[in-house]
């Protein structure tokens, strides 16, 4: 699929106009990812529930877990690519079509209604870089060797660095990509150090062999120096796993290694933030789940997964408390993500069937809800094209809008959502439903996800962490409700500036945006009516991983 994509990319550059190249190639990538999804769906029929299917000399292993989540990643990528497959707005003309009217209509003087000159539709490499990131993520989930682990995470990470810097004329985007690159390189050095220590201590690179050695070494504590036989000691393996965990916690922006994510989320264009906030975290967390369920956790007195407990508690507290002080919408979403990462890490630190069920379900529902939130944020920016933001009273308190980034990130401040309900009530209701799901309000899907995590935590004896999670969820609901309050109850801060010869009622949002938001919002809202399939899926995954 990668080779086919490169060929079609060259072909699309040769046969089309420059301003339409990005849209054309996004549609090509859409069908390529759809084809990959069909191939991944066929892989699900392989009987790999017990041992998996090893490929490429043992570098990768196809299992039930990574096969399903490869399909999930591809489907999410298809939805994200929809942002670029059509112009975001269209203008309805209630006249009979003829040659004269088509060439004399005044609408052609306002081509920005369709955003034909927006920067995201000129960057040709955007969708190609996305494809490389997706490939790296799918390789990472299937990695079964420390060599393939490092190569996969770097393939994914390099694509993300370039993706953040794709908007070459954006100073903030370039600065954010440099920050992301430097701290990402630091995280990669931790991962490389840990894999080197694993190989130096065990003499093998295969994860399967390392799993066997770690489990056997727990039962062998005798050291026979007289016969020059020294049994392998798993102490060094667990030290290496702690270093590896630190590297991956950097990558998923878990606290206390979170400090890069708010700046990067806020500085890069919103369409890029949508991708980097969802896909990389799914692939890394699924890989971490595979390691946690296969390597023995005993570390003499301590448990090597205790680092997940500490990071979970810090993520819950920091993501909630610092989120209360934010005035910029994407920084708020960044701290919200950190808080939700805390729930996922809490599940990783518990080895039980209920915790794996909660982990998989929470990861899937949060990915869909987060994707819907960013889709709505981008759509709100498109819908306000004919409006001018006026809020001089609170201008100093809320900060400034970066005018140079207004095309790449139209919605930058939370106060820009004031009174938006009076402009578009349907999108406002969709955003409110998504934010209520983030806060864990029943009967939305986010409530059931948090309920499963808390139930697994209490059943395993983590009462204190459960209390921390409950309190932070209640406190975190404050900044979600603050956004809803501004949208529905504050006075509008927008003034209509449409030209007299354009009827704003005839400007419609693209179907690729509205249909996607409708489907995702329906999933969040009506999960309670059809929960069986999702819950059966997470139950099967937990039974396969723990061999119940």
Inform me whether the pLDDT recorded for 275 exceeds 50.
Answer: yes
**How far from chain centre, in Å, is Cα 165?**
18
What is the pairing mode between strands 298-299 and 302-303? Answer: antiparallel
Highest mean pLDDT among 11-25, 491-505, 516-530: 516-530
Q: What percent of the chain has pLDDT over 90?
A: 28
Q: Which residues contact 208 (CB under 8 A, 6 or more apart)?
A: 58, 61, 144
Output 544 or 469, whichever has higher pLDDT.
469
Its pTM stands at: 0.89
pLDDT at 510 over 70: yes
- Listed by start position, the domains of the chain span 1-95+117-220+231-304, 306-498
> What is the rounded CA–CA span in Å between residue 191 and residue 143?
14
Write down the pLDDT at residue 73.
Answer: 93
Contact criterion met (CB below 8 Å) for 483 and 476: no
β-sheet bridge partners, residue 303: 298
Q: Mean pLDDT over residues 459-479, rounded?
A: 90
Residue 401 has pLDDT above 90, yes or no: no
For residues 175-200, give the mean pLDDT.
90
The pLDDT value recorded for residue 201 is: 79
SS3 content of the chain, % helix, strand, coil (to 5): 70, 5, 25
Q: From CA 347, how far away is CA 456, in angstroms rounded?
A: 8
Q: Note whether 340 and 366 are within 8 A (CB).
A: yes
Q: Rounded to whole angstroms, how far apart are CA atoms 347 and 355?
A: 5
> For position 231, what pLDDT does the model report?
52
Q: Which two tokens stand for residue 386?
A: 């004919």
pLDDT tens for each residue of 230-259:
555 666 777 888 888 899 999 998 888 888
Residue 203: pLDDT band (50, 70, 90) is confident
| Least trusted range by pLDDT, from 199-203, 228-232, 333-337 | 228-232
Residues 144/211, Cβ–Cβ less than 8 Å: no
C-alpha distances (whole Å) from 224 to each of 201, 233, 234, 235, 351 are: 18, 13, 16, 18, 33
DSSP state of 143: B
Asked if residue 245 lies in contact with residue 299, where contact means CB atoms within 8 angstroms, the answer is no
Residue 522 CA neighbour count, 13 Å, CB half: 7
- Choose between 448 and 222: higher pLDDT: 448
User: CB atoms < 10 A from the CB of 500, how many?
Assistant: 5
**pLDDT value at 85 more than 90:** no
Query: What does the pLDDT read at residue 442?
Result: 87
Kindly report which listed range (8-12, 87-91, 141-145, 395-399) carries the lowest average pLDDT score. Answer: 395-399
Using CA atoms, how far apart are residues 316 and 500, in angstroms rounded to an integer? 51
Distance CA 397, CA 327 (A): 9
Q: Quickly list H helices, 48-123.
A: 64-85, 99-104
Mind listing the pLDDT tens digit for each residue in 344-388? 999 888 878 888 888 999 999 999 999 999 999 999 988 887 777
- Per-residue CA distances from 94 to 101, 112, 468 (Å): 11, 20, 58
Which of 184, 365, 186 is closest to 282 using CA atoms?
Answer: 365
pLDDT, tens digit, 9 for 90 and up, residues 43-81: 877 654 456 788 888 888 888 888 888 999 999 999 998
Tokens of 401: 């809008």
Q: What distance in Å separates the CA atoms of residue 67 and residue 265, rounded to the nearest whole number? A: 29
Cβ-contact 185, 228 below 8 angstroms = no
Q: Average per-residue pLDDT in the chain?
A: 81
| Residue that is written with structure tokens 């995954």 in the block | 541
- Asked whether residue 435 carries a pLDDT value surpassing 90, the answer given is yes
pLDDT of 547 reads 60
Length of the chain: 548
């Amino acid at each position: 699929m990668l080779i086919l994509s490169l060929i079609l990319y060259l072909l699309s550059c040769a046969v089309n106009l420059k301003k339409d190249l990005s849209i054309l190639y996004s549609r090509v990538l859409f069908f390529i990812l759809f084809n990959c999804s069909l191939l991944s769906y066929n892989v699900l029929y392989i009987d790999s529930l017990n041992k998996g299917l090893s490929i490429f000399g043992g570098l990768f292993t196809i299992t039930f877990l990574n096969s399903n989540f490869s399909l999930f990643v591809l489907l999410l990528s298809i939805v994200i690519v929809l942002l670029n497959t059509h112009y975001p707005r269209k203008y309805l003309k209630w006249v009979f079509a003829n040659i004269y009217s088509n060439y004399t209509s005044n609408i052609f003087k306002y081509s920005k209604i369709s955003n034909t000159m927006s920067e995201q539709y000129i960057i040709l490499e955007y969708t190609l870089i996305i494809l490389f990131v997706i490939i790296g993520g799918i390789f990472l989930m299937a990695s079964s060797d420390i060599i393939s682990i490092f190569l996969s995470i770097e393939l994914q990470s390099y694509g993300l660095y370039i993706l953040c810097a794709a908007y070459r004329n954006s100073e903030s985007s370039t600065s954010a990509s440099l920050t992301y690159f430097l701290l990402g390189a630091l995280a990669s050095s931790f991962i490389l150090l840990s894999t080197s220590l694993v190989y130096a201590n065990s003499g093998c690179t295969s994860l399967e062999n390392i799993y066997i050695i770690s489990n056997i070494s727990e039962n062998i504590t005798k050291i026979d120096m007289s016969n020059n036989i020294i049994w392998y000691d798993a102490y060094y393996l667990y030290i290496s796993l702690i270093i590896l965990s630190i590297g991956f916690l950097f990558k998923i922006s878990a606290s206390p290694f979170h400090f890069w994510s708010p700046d990067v989320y806020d500085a890069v264009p919103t369409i890029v933030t949508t991708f980097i906030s969802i896909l990389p975290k799914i692939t890394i967390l699924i890989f971490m789940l595979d390691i946690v369920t296969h390597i023995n956790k005993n570390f003499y007195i301590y448990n090597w997964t205790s680092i997940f407990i500490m990071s979970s508690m810090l993520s819950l507290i920091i993501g909630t408390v610092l989120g209360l002080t934010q005035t910029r919408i994407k920084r708020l979403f960044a701290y919200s993500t950190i808080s939700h990462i805390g729930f996922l890490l809490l599940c990783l630190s518990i080895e039980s069937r209920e915790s794996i069920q909660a982990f998989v379900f929470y990861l899937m529902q949060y990915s869909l809800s987060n994707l819907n939130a960013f889709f709505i944020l981008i759509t709100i920016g498109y819908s306000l094209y004919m409006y001018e933001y006026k809020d001089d009273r609170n201008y100093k308190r809320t900060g400034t809008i970066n005018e140079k980034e207004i095309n790449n990130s139209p919605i930058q401040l939370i106060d820009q959502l004031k009174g938006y309900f009076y402009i578009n009530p349907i999108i406002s209701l969709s955003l409110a439903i998504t934010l209520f799901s983030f806060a864990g309000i029943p009967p939305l899907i986010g409530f059931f996800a948090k309920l499963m995590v808390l139930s697994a935590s209490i059943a395993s004896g983590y009462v204190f962490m459960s209390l921390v999670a409950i309190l932070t969820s209640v406190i975190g609901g404050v900044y979600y409700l603050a956004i809803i309050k501004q949208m529905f109850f504050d006075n509008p801060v927008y003034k209509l500036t449409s030209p007299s010869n354009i009827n704003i009622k005839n400007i419609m949002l693209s179907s690729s945006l509205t249909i996607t938001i409708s489907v995702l919002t329906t999933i969040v809202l009506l999960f309670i009516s059809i929960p069986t399939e999702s819950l059966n899926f997470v139950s099967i995954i937990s039974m396969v991983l723990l061999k119940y």
